[in-house]
Structure 1
């Protein structure tokens, strides 16, 4: 949870603003839809504020956002804490020279890419996304950044699906989550 004080009204407001859509994109999936959170200006601001409060004094120089929803939460957090924002994208979306990290999905593989030179060895990074499920994309992001000498301080997500055990895949990397979708 986001706060030692589990009674923080902001967490309840954020959780209430997330719409759950049953059987999307396929039967049995309970899709956590953050578009309704984005429509609620108070809950959206609370989300950004909670992240900023946590990271403002952590000496983070890079906020790495995972495509596509990490692009929503990452830039305002980066600006507020004085860090640069680096997009981590799907293949063939970034112009110029990139480095890639392949990762496994439930059925198949995918890749994540980052511009060469976007980060420097020794920088301290926060990896941000909307949701952690199995942890595959966060693990790929961590690997991509660490390959070039960046220290990943923590990963941050709005929502966690704890039953999918993504947190366990992160091993020793800390994970900060606002809402458990249990």
Structure 2
């Protein structure tokens, strides 16, 4: 579900956000049009607008945990968590967290990866928002959902700044809704 699906499609903040995202052709490999959100982070207004839209959406949804997917989910998650009164939980790549972790492997278009989370980071029945910068196939978000649900949490929704248009119909998110602000620029 894209932001436009919720009546804010004409919201000028969405254009500001979209315009602030740099497209880098052929990165990290030929044929990829990389959606670089680091330029959005350099634009105070666009960054604030992005966080504000997410905060407005989740403020009254009784979210107790914002789980950010490494690494770019870390850039939005803590601000959203603070604003809605939730804790922030990082979902990291392997061997980045000290202490005991639980892990969830998943397939990528070009191999296999894994997400880890500290044991005890989420509690039974806590309501979780999963945040990342972009969703393409949904594989990483689906792994995040499985990881959090194995720990007993309830994933309420996944949220991303950028989402491919075909994600509406083809996303593998274990039946969980996804909220996306903008489609990628070419």
TM-score (norm 1): 0.96
Aligned equivalents of 2:113, 2:21: Cα separation in 1:
27
- The reply to whether residue 18 of structure 1 matches residue 21 of structure 2 is yes
Aligned equivalents of 2:169, 2:22: Cα separation in 1:
21
Q: Provide structure 1 residue ranges, at least 5 long, that are not aligned to the other structure.
A: none
Write the deviation string for residues 106-134 of structure 1: whole angstroms up to 9, x where unpaired: 12211100000000011000000000011
Q: Give the CA deviation at 1:13.
A: 0.3
Write the deviation string for residues 4-29 of structure 1: whole angstroms up to 9, x where unpaired: 03210100100000011111111111
- The reply to whether residue 85 of structure 1 matches residue 78 of structure 2 is no
Partner of 1:119: 122
Partner of 1:149: 152
Q: Give the CA deviation at 1:166.
A: 8.0
Select between 104-113 and 66-75 the one with higher mean Cα deviation: 104-113
Off by >2 Å, runs of 4+ in structure 1: 162-168
Q: Provide structure 2 residue ranges, at least 5 long, that are not aligned to the other structure.
A: none
- Pick from 27, 31, 41 the counterpart of residue 34 of structure 2: 31
The SS at the match of 2:171 is helix
- Pick from 126, 136, 140 the counterpart of residue 143 of structure 2: 140
Q: Give the CA deviation at 1:162.
A: 2.6
Write the deviation string for residues 34-80 of structure 1: whole angstroms up to 9, x where unpaired: 01100110000000000000000000000000000000000000000
Partner of 2:68: 65
Aligned equivalents of 2:67, 2:76: Cα separation in 1:
10
Write the deviation string for residues 122-163 of structure 1: whole angstroms up to 9, x where unpaired: 100000000001111100000000011100000000000234
- Count the aligned residue pairs: 182
The Cα RMSD (Å) is 1.4
Aligned runs of 1:47-62 on 2, under 5 Å? 47-62=50-65
The SS at the match of 1:162 is coil
